[in-house]
Amino acid sequence: MNTQKPVVGVIMGSQSDWDTMKEATEVLTALGVGFEAKIVSAHRTPKRLVEYAETAADRGLKVIVAGAGGAAHLPGMVASMTAVPVLGVPVESKALSGMDSLLSIAQMPGGVPVGTLAIGKAGAKNAGLLAASIIALMDDQVAEKLTAWRTAQSDAVAAAPVDQ
Ligand SMILES: Nc1c(C(=O)O)ncn1[C@@H]1O[C@H](COP(=O)(O)O)[C@@H](O)[C@H]1O
């Protein structure tokens, strides 16, 4: 269970996004970063979205990871209402394999940035890592864990046999 004070907000448009977005929370847990995970939708819960975005900074969030699929307006709408950096994860959609999500999140108008990751689970995992990198700038313990995590990843790749 995550009992630390949340510094990263992980939000998603639907419960159906959780299978993807849990990749981000698993990384944050492994790196000792406090987070909260919630469903917030620009389309289905617009009032909740406004409250979430407007209170994010005062509640101590330093980064928001926002995942959504299809007409993925959630990351951009959150970014329009807070200066807390927003990392967008395009969830893979059934109809268009996540291309709709990717373009909805990436093609923001100038002035309202969303840092857009890759489609699907790899994007969610990298959003978690990128959020941890931002937190590591102000938290030495997270910085140490992130360095160790990267070393372990390199070691695992270097040790992998190629002839199986
Ligand atoms: N793109 C958005 C937003 C939003 O951008 O606010 N809210 C929900 N959704 C997306 O709708 C998809 C289908 O949702 P359901 O599975 O609940 O029908 C999800 O991928 C969700 O992120």
In sequence order, which ranges of 35-139 are alpha helices (DSSP H)? 46-55, 74-81, 99-106, 121-136
Q: Is residue 43 domain-resident?
A: yes
> What residues pair up with 11 in beta bridges, in sequence order?
38, 66
What pTM did the predictor assign? 0.97
Ligand 1 atom 8: residue of nearest CA = 13
Our mutation pick for probing the ligand 1 site, out of 10, 12, 15, 17, counting the most ligand atoms within 8 A of Cβ, is 17
- Mean pLDDT over residues 7-30, rounded? 98
Q: How far is the CA of 42 from the centre of ligand 1 (A)?
A: 9
The answer to whether 139 is a known ligand-binding residue is no
Residue 44: which CATH number?
A: 3.40.50.1970
Q: Is residue 15 domain-resident?
A: yes
Residue in 47, 53, 59, 110 with CA at minimum distance from that of residue 85: 53
Ligand 1 atom 12: residue of nearest CA = 69
Instruction: List phi, psi (to 5°) of 55.
Output: -100, -5
Q: How far is the CA of 139 from the centre of ligand 1 (A)?
A: 33
pLDDT in tens, 31-62: 999 999 999 999 999 999 999 999 999 999 99
Q: Is residue 156 domain-resident?
A: no
pLDDT in tens, 133-149: 999 999 999 999 999 99
Which structure tokens are listed for 97? 């394999």
Q: Is residue 162 domain-resident?
A: no
Q: Ligand 1 in contact with 42 (CB < 6 A)?
A: yes
Q: Is residue 155 domain-resident?
A: no
Q: Ligand 1 in contact with 121 (CB < 6 A)?
A: no
Q: Ligand 1 in contact with 91 (CB < 6 A)?
A: yes
pLDDT band at 4 (very low <50, low <70, confident <90, very high): confident
Q: Is residue 31 domain-resident?
A: yes
The number of domains in the chain is: 1
Q: Is residue 135 domain-resident?
A: yes
